[in-house]
Amino acid sequence: MAGSSTLLIPLVAGIIGLGVIAQLAAARLRIPSIIFYLLVGVIIGQPGLGIIGSGTFGGALSAIVGLAVAIIVFEGAYHLRFERIREAPAATFRLVTLGAAIALLGTAVAVKFAFSEPAVSWNLAFLIGALLVATGPTVITPILNVVPVRDRVATALETEGIVNDVTAAIIAVVVFETVNPAANSQGLVRAFAFRLGTGLLVGLIVAGLLYYLLQYIDLSPSDAPRNARLLTLAGALVAYAAANTIATEAGVAAAATAGVALGNIDHPYEEDIEEFKGDITLLVLSFVFIALAAQLSLDALIDVGLAGIIVVAAVALLIRPLLVFISMTGDRFTRAEKLFVSFVGPRGIIPASVATLFAVELNTVAEERRTEAAELTGAEADALLQQAQLLGTQAEILLGTVFLVIFVTALLEGGFARTIAEKLNVIPMRVIIVGGGKVGRALAERLEDRGENIVIIEQDESIVERARNEGYAVEIGDGTDTDVLRSAGAENAKTVVAATGDDDANLLVSQLASSKFGVERIIARANNPDNVEAFEDLGVRTISSAMATAWAIDNQIERPAIAHWMTDVGRSGDVQEIEVKNGELIGKSVREVGPMLPDACLIALVSGKDYQDAQVPTADYVLQEGDMVTLLGRHESVRDGMKLVADD
C-alpha cells in the first residue's frame, strides 16, 4: 500500500498504539512482548490485511529503523554494568568470541548445504551467518523481564546480545561487499577494523561530552532532570549518525560504546535517564518490529521452503547448544542453566533491519542490470539478465531465511522461555536482605555460600560500593519503598530479611513484604529487645540482637567445639535444612536413606514445613513428601546431599 502524507500520520500513530497494547498484553500474560509485535506486524502488513506495504514509508524506513536501533542499543548498553559482567567473565568473553565464531561458521555451513541452488554461494551463506550471530537486547531483555534468572545467567545473555549486535552488523556489512557487485570491495579485516575502530572512537567521544555536560546541566535545577534525559537521548542519536556517516554500520558500535561508557561512570540524574530511556525504547522497539514484520512478503518465507526450516533447526537445536556448552565449559553455570541459555537465542532487530536493507540494495542493483540489458542485445544482454535474476533470488533467500529464523526463534523461544525455565528450575526464589551493613553482608556471605540468590537493598552509597566490590547484587534505594522492593524482586522472593539498624524501618519492611508481596518467610532484626513483641504480633520471626549475642556467648561457654565448627560453616562443615522432593526418598526410612546420602553427611533433624515439630528421627522414621530435613556433615557432602534430597 503506497503511503501518503494524509495516511502516514494515522498509520504511525496506529502502529505506536498497537505497540503499547501489545506491551500491555505481554505484561498481563507474562510473555515476551516481541511475540505480540511480530504478530501485529504480520496481521496489518503484507502477509495479512495489507494495510502497510513496502511503499508505505517510502525510502524513509531505513533511516527510521537506524535511529531506532541507536536508541535501543544505547539503552541496552547503558544498563550493562562492569560489576555485573564480573559475575561470569570467562563465560561471557567466550560467548562473544568463540561462541560468535561457532555461530557464524556453523550457520554459514548450514545455509550452504541446506540450499541446493547455485544462487547460494559461500559469500551469501557467510552473509546470512554473520547476520544470525546477533541475538540482541531487543529480544533478550523482554524475555528476561518475565524470566528472572540468576544474575550471572542474565548478565551472560545481555552481554552476548549487546556485543554480538555490534560485531554481527559490522561483519555483515563487510561480507555484503563480496555479494553486492556494485560495492567497492576492501580487505575484509581492514574494513571490519575500520568500522569497529570508528564506532569505538566516536562512542567514547560522545560519552565523554555527555559526562562533561551532565556535570553542568543543573544551572536551572527545576529543568535539570528533563534536560539530562533529552541530552542523553540526543547523544545516542548523534553517536549513531556521526559514526554511520564515516563508515556504514559503524553507528551501532558507536551507540553501544557510548552507552556502556556513560552507564559505568557515576554521573548526575542517572535514575531519571534510565526511566526515560526505558519508556522511549519500548515505543521505538514496538514501532520498528511491527513495521519490519509488516514489510515481509509471505512469498519470501514460502520460497525458502524446507531449506529454510533446516537452517532454523540447525541454528536453534544444534549450533546454539554447541556454542553455549563449549563457551561455558568449566564455569560456575549449572547444567540446567547451560540448557536454558542454549534455548534462549532468539534473533532480533539487527538481523531484521540489516537484512531488509541488503535485500533492497540487491533488488535495486538487479533493476539497474535489467535496465542496462534493455539497451543491449545478444550475449551481453543475456548476461545482465542472468545477473539480475541471480541478485533477485539472493535477495529473496537472504530476506526469507533471516526472517524465518527471527520468527521461529522469537515465537518459540520467547513464548516458551518461562515454561522451559520452570522445567529446568533456573528461576531462583530470591532472598532479599534490607540493610547492607556488617550484619547484612555477613548473612549474605553465608547464604550465597549455600547457593541462594541474594539481593541486598541499601541506600548508603559507600555501603553500596563496598557490597558491590565484594560481589553482591545490590539494589540502591530505601527498603521501606514498595517500588524499591519490587525492583529488587520481592514478587519472586521466598525470604525477606529486615536487617537494618532501625527497628521502625525493619517493622515497615516486614509489613510491606507480608501485605504487598505475600512473602512466605519474613525475618526481622530487633535492635531493641523491647520491640520483639511488636514484630511477633505481625507473625514475623524476630532475632533480637541482645539475645543473639547472649546465645553466641553461651555456645562458646557450654559447647565450644560445636560453636567453633558452626562458625566455620562453608569451610570445614555445614548444616542445611531442605525440603524432601526426591520421589526415590519419599516413603523410605532413615535407615534406608542413610546409605544413599554422601559420606560424612547425615540427617540430624526432621520437621514439617511449619517447623513446630522438629525431632531427631529414629532409624525407622519414614520420610514424607514435604518433610524438612536438616543435613549435617562436611561442606561438600552436605551440598551433594541437598541436591539428592531436592531432586524432583
The number of helices, as runs of H, and strands, as runs of E, in the chain is 28, 9
CA separation for the pair 578, 168 (Å, rounded): 45
Supply the Cα-derived Rg of the chain in whole angstroms: 29
The pLDDT tens digits for 498-550 are 988 888 888 899 888 888 888 888 888 888 888 888 777 777 888 877 777 77
Q: Say if residue 6's pLDDT is above 70.
A: no
CA-based torsion, 322, 327, 328, 331: positive or negative: positive
With residue 447 as reference, give the H or E element that holds it.
helix 438-449
Q: Give yes or no for a contact between 613 and 549, defined as CB atoms under 8 angstroms apart.
A: no
C-alpha cell at 194: 575500520
- Report the b/e string of 306-327 with b at 16+ CB within 10 A: ebbebbbebbbeebbbebbbeb
- Report the b/e string of 195-213 with b at 16+ CB within 10 A: bbebbbbbbbbbbebbbee
Average pLDDT over residues 601-626: 83
Question: What are the CA-CA distances from residue 528 to residues 507, 533, 535, 542, 584 (Å)?
Answer: 12, 11, 11, 11, 47
C-alpha cell at 58: 517510502
* Burial of 227 from C-beta contacts in 10 A (0-12 / 13-18 / 19+): middle
C-alpha cell at 564: 567453633
The pLDDT tens digits for 91-120 are 888 888 899 999 999 999 999 988 877 778
Higher pLDDT, 166 or 438: 438
Question: What local confidence, expressed as pLDDT, does residue 567 receive?
Answer: 62
**For the chain, what's the residue count?**
648
Lowest mean pLDDT among 393-402, 568-577, 610-619: 568-577
**What is the 3-state secondary structure of 310-367?**
HHHHHHHHHHHHHHHHHHCCCCCCCHHHHHHHHHCCCCCHHHHHHHHHHHHHHHHHHH
Q: Say if residue 224's pLDDT is above 80.
A: no
Per DSSP, the three-state class of 603 is strand
Count CB atoms within 10 A of the CB of residue 347: 28
Q: What is the side-by-side strand order in the sheet with 430-434? A: 473-476, 453-458, 430-434, 493-498, 521-526, 541-544
The pLDDT tens digits for 463-504 are 888 887 776 778 888 988 888 888 888 887 888 999 888 888
Question: What local confidence, expressed as pLDDT, does residue 144 receive?
Answer: 80
Q: Say if residue 1's pLDDT is above 50.
A: no
The pLDDT tens digits for 308-363 are 899 999 999 999 999 999 988 876 677 888 899 999 888 877 787 778 777 877 87
DSSP result, 362-392: HHHHHHHHHHHHHT--HHHHHHHHHHHHHHH
C-alpha cell at 545: 540482637
Residues with Cβ within 8 Å of residue 297, at least 6 apart in sequence: 46, 47, 54, 399
Q: Say if residue 648's pLDDT is above 60.
A: no
* Burial of 243 from C-beta contacts in 10 A (0-12 / 13-18 / 19+): buried
The pLDDT tens digits for 433-453 are 999 888 888 888 878 776 677
Closest by CA position to 412, among listed 148, 137, 35: 35
DSSP 529: G
Q: Give yes or no for a contact between 139 and 414, defined as CB atoms under 8 angstroms apart.
A: yes
Percent of the chain with pLDDT over 90: 6
How many Cα atoms occupy the beta-carbon half-sphere of 227 within 13 Å?
14
Most confident of 27-36, 264-273, 415-424: 415-424
C-alpha cell at 143: 524475555
Question: What local confidence, expressed as pLDDT, does residue 84 receive?
Answer: 61
Q: Rounded mean pLDDT of the chain?
A: 80
Q: Which amino acid, one-letter code, is at 231? A: L
Per the listing, cell 560522545 goes with 206
Closest by CA position to 127, among listed 197, 191, 174: 174
Assign 182 a pLDDT band (cuts: 50, 70, 90): low
